[in-house]
Amino acid sequence: MSPARLEPEKYTSFFSSYPKASSLFVTDYDGTLAPFVKEREKAFLAPATRSLLKSICDAGGKIIIVSGRKTEEIYDFVGIPVEIWGCHGMEKRDKNGRTARMYIPEEMLKKLDDFSSLLTSFLCKAKAVEKKPCGIALHWRDRPEILDMYAQISGRLISEAYAHSLKVLPFNGGVEFMLPCFTKGTALTEIMANHHDSSPLCYLGDDTTDEDAFEEIQKVSYGIGILVSNKNKSSSANVYIQKAEVDLFLDFWLNEITVKGGADHVNK
């Protein structure tokens, strides 16, 4: 199904439908908070977005970023004290910098390691293969030669991934082969259990990797999945906003949780 369009002129009525905005804000990073870029190591926040996130934190709001990236990567990009769930929730970093990593059985790690040998032909392509604690990603962001290589053997790779009990998760600019025990959906399950009094509990995301989270957040009456997309498309999210409107939505959120909103923030 396709989510409804949440236009900027409807933000006021959206927030007024709740007694007050939750101080908790949960979001994906790449393509949602930060623009999608060809070189993934340059996915920096726009200054206005960073300023809004910092203002939300300073006002007592709590931000949780859920990403397929490692936690340290996200922190290096954000640079402000927010909670980060990396590797689809396998790694966690709290706002004070304390980190934790979930346990993965050795036999599962061996399956992942065995599968990774099937991607050796891509290692000659710089930054095409990204090994993570719970998965391995193949990137072809605007690199058609890598996409062509993948297309030639994708059937075999997908078949072998399933044989190794791995999930195949396409994303914008690549595909990830990962252990099935961690998804953004499992991360949202834990977040919702820890924040059951947050209403609304919104999750922002932009691509296929966020669909598990959108599906999970539908299980609670106070959950709202918000797709960030410049066009309407099939998604389990409740509503969608355009990419250029994310800062405006953040600014509305800030104004709902504090009286500090106004001239210093994005104009409505």
pLDDT score, position 221: 82
pLDDT tens per residue across span 168-177: 989 888 999 9
pLDDT score, position 266: 43
pLDDT tens per residue across span 191-219: 998 887 777 889 999 999 999 999 999 99
The domain 106-178 is placed in CATH, from the list 3.30.70, 1.20.58, 3.40.50, 3.40.1350, at 3.30.70
pLDDT score, position 34: 94
The b-or-e profile of 228-244 (16+ CB within 10 A means b, else e) is bbeeeeebbbbbbbbee
In the numeric block, the tokens 């066009």 are attached to 231
Assigned superfamily of 4-102+182-257: HAD superfamily/HAD-like (3.40.50.1000)
The pTM for the full model equals: 0.86
261 has a pLDDT exceeding 60 = no
Q: Which residue has the higher pLDDT, 37 or 130?
A: 130
**Whole-number CA gyration radius for the chain:** 19
- Residue 171: enclosing H or E segment and its boundaries? strand 167-171
What band does 259 get if pLDDT is binned at 50, 70 and 90? low
Q: Which residue has the higher pLDDT, 248 or 263?
A: 248
pLDDT score, position 40: 85
pLDDT tens per residue across span 94-114: 999 999 999 999 999 999 999
| CA pair distance 76, 44, nearest whole angstrom | 9
CA dihedral sign of residues 26, 254, 227, 39: negative
Indicate the domain borders of the chain.
Answer: 4-102+182-257, 106-178
pLDDT score, position 265: 44
